[in-house]
Amino acid sequence: MLLTDPVTGEFVFPTNLDCALCTRDDIYKFGRRCDELGISYIGLCCGNAAAYTRTLCESIGRKPPASKYSPNMEVHCLFGKDERVLKNHSKQTLENIVTRKGKM
């Protein structure tokens, strides 16, 4: 079986493999599914990155030292919930960004 682009149907190997990469959400779902099936020895191979390994660990309830680098939208400069963030950005600014009506 040859790997093909899901949009164009063209072969992706060797120069166009990007469309076949997993996202962090894919890795998280993979880890959750392995845990549900009782698979206790899991890992990643080719194309792995530190963020993927961290996501895989967190998906099965582990908290590696690198978890301190996990995305935390609560403190994001635009999407955060902290009052210090909210007072510096108007609701309209946020809506413009989210709906892509505004310009940054």
Q: Where are the domains of the chain?
A: 1-70, 72-104
Whether the CA torsion 11, 17, 18, 22 is positive or negative: it is: positive
Quote the pTM value. 0.68
**With the CA atoms of 100, 101, 102 and 104 taken in that order, what torsion angle do they form, in degrees rounded to the nearest 10?**
30
pLDDT tens figures, 28-68: 999 999 999 999 899 999 889 999 999 999 999 999 999 99
pLDDT tens figures, 58-79: 999 999 999 999 988 877 777 7
What was the pLDDT predicted at 67?
Answer: 93
Across residues 10-15, what is the average pLDDT? 88
